[in-house]
Amino acid sequence: MPSTPGMKPGGFYDSHSDTQGAAIDTFLPWLVDAVDELPVPAAGGPPLTLLDLGSSQGKNAIRAMRGLAEAIRRRTDAPAWALFSDLPTNDFNRLFVNLFPHGPGSPPPIGEGVFTAAVAGSAYGPIVPPASVHVATSFNMIGWLDALPPARLPRYILATGPSARGDRSAVTEEEREPFRRQAASDLHRFYRARAGELVPGGKLLVQVFGRDEARDRSASDGIYDVVSDALLDLVDDGSLPAKVYEDLVFPLYFRTAGELVEPIESEPDLASTFRVDRAETVETPVPFNAELERDGDLGEWARRFTGFLRAFTEPIVAAAIPANLPADEILADAYRRVEARLEEDPARYEFRFISVGVLLTRTPARRG
Show pLDDT as tens, one digit a residue, over the chain (368 residues). Answer: 456 778 888 889 999 999 999 999 999 999 999 999 999 887 777 899 999 999 999 999 999 999 999 999 988 889 999 999 999 999 999 999 998 877 777 777 898 899 999 999 999 999 999 999 999 999 999 999 999 998 889 999 999 888 765 555 678 889 999 999 999 999 999 999 999 999 999 999 999 999 998 888 999 999 999 999 999 999 999 999 999 999 999 999 999 999 999 999 999 999 999 999 999 999 999 999 999 999 999 999 999 999 999 999 999 999 999 999 999 999 999 999 999 999 999 999 999 999 999 999 999 865 44
Calpha distance 83→138 (Å, rounded): 12
Alpha-carbon Rg of the chain, whole angstroms?
21
What per-residue confidence (pLDDT) applies to 166? 54
For the residues of 66-93, what is the DSSP string, one character each? HHHHHHHTTT----EEEEEEE-TTS-HH
111: left (phi over 0), alpha (psi -120 to 50) or beta: left
- Residue 204: beta bridge partners? 136, 360
Q: What is the pLDDT of residue 162?
A: 82
pTM: 0.94
Reported as half-sphere exposure (CB side, CA atoms, 13 A), residue 114 has a value of 24
| Number of Cβ atoms within 10 Å of the Cβ of 271 | 14
- CB 47, CB 309: distance < 8 Å: no
Asked if residues 138 and 207 have their Cβ atoms less than 8 Å apart, the reply is yes
Residue-level pLDDT at 323: 95
- pLDDT tens digits, 89-98: 999 999 999 9
- Which residue ranges form the domains of the chain, and what is each CATH number? 12-362 (3.40.50.150)
